[in-house]
Structure 1
Amino acid sequence: MDSFIKRVGTIYVPVENPAISSIWYQKTLGAVENYRDEDKAILDFANQSFFLVKSKIGEKAIFKDYKGAEHFLMTFEVDGIDELKQFHSFLTQKEVTVGNIEDRGHPGNNFVYYDLDGNKFDVWSELSPTFSK
């Protein structure tokens, strides 16, 4: 059976202040802001639309698994291990909280980083086949 769903169009990220978070995403990740009001900022980056939604203080896009380990909701992809290392270094220089580059036992390497509001994201050194063409 063919899937009706073709791609993820929009991702919603909880933030304390959409204006301040939008500036962080623009300066740090190269996002482009398309719209902003007091409740949200709409950004384009990584071939996605991101809504930075004003949320209660302490809300984060993180969950814990059954063992209590903290998990991210999404993984960004870069094109190869060299680009992964460059991006890791870039974020470190911007004083973003980043984890170590690690081998998780599958192809490629990963690291995690946190945005201004403490949302945790993953980065992987392998591009999906659709983007590696």
Structure 2
Amino acid sequence: MSGILRNALKAVCSIYIPVRSPLKSAKWWQQNFGLEYAVPYNEAEAQVILKLSDGQWMHLVETEGPIENQFPNKAGYEMFRLTFEVRQIEVLYDHLKTTDIQIGRLEDRGSCGINFVFYDLDGNKYDVNECVNVHRTPEEVDKVKVHLFDQIK
């Protein structure tokens, strides 16, 4: 290749999640997030492939080894490997509060948006984000923040 590569990596098309039971995990993702199968389940592959709304594939890969999807940052905070982008974060947050899913506290990260974390059946930690200032009017942002953060007070 000649020249300097610039932004050669376009997007993440697949993510791989370690799980104990791909079918049980797939059911959990379907029930709680509405994900659908990308391809039919193939038992020989020991994984389920689900599709996110924008088309990326999430592979739920069976493992017998340790599941260590998190890692500590320099300050010791347990980091997640993925942040899911969502729309209507308040709808998802309200829904997840009615389930037995472990969810973290809401955070207003300013220009980065509103976030919270959750854990799957196998203890994998995920972050959820909506850049509300980008996707909503200032009036809508105010309503969302009142809805989400006034519940906490």
TM-score by length of 1: 0.84
Relative to structure 1, is the Cα distance of residues 107 and 50 closer, same or farther in structure 2, using a 3 angstrom cutoff? Answer: closer
Larger Rg: 2
Post-superposition shift, 1:15?
A: 0.3
Partner of 1:116: 121
Counterpart of 2:97 in 1: which secondary structure? helix
Kept after mapping to 2: 8 A contact 1:99/1:112: yes
What's the C-alpha RMSD, in Å, of the aligned pairs?
2.0
1:77 counterpart letter in structure 2: E
1:8 maps onto 2:12 in alignment: yes
1:126 maps onto 2:123 in alignment: no
| 5+ residue gaps, structure 1 | none
Relative to structure 1, is the Cα distance of residues 46 and 70 closer, same or farther in structure 2, using a 3 angstrom cutoff? Answer: farther
Partner of 1:25: 29
Counterpart of 1:35 in 2: which secondary structure? coil
Match of 2:98 among 85, 93, 100: 93
Relative to structure 1, is the Cα distance of residues 46 and 61 closer, same or farther in structure 2, using a 3 angstrom cutoff? Answer: farther
1:43 maps onto 2:50 in alignment: yes
Post-superposition shift, 1:32?
A: 0.8
Post-superposition shift, 1:49?
A: 0.1
Of Structure 1 and Structure 2, the greater strand share is in 1
Aligned residue pairs, count: 126
Partner of 1:65: 73
Of Structure 1 and Structure 2, the greater helix share is in 2
Structure 2 Cα separation of the partners of residues 35 and 10 of structure 1? 16
1:85 counterpart letter in structure 2: E
1:108 counterpart letter in structure 2: G
Post-superposition shift, 1:58?
A: 4.1
Kept after mapping to 2: 8 A contact 1:15/1:60: no
Kept after mapping to 2: 8 A contact 1:77/1:124: yes
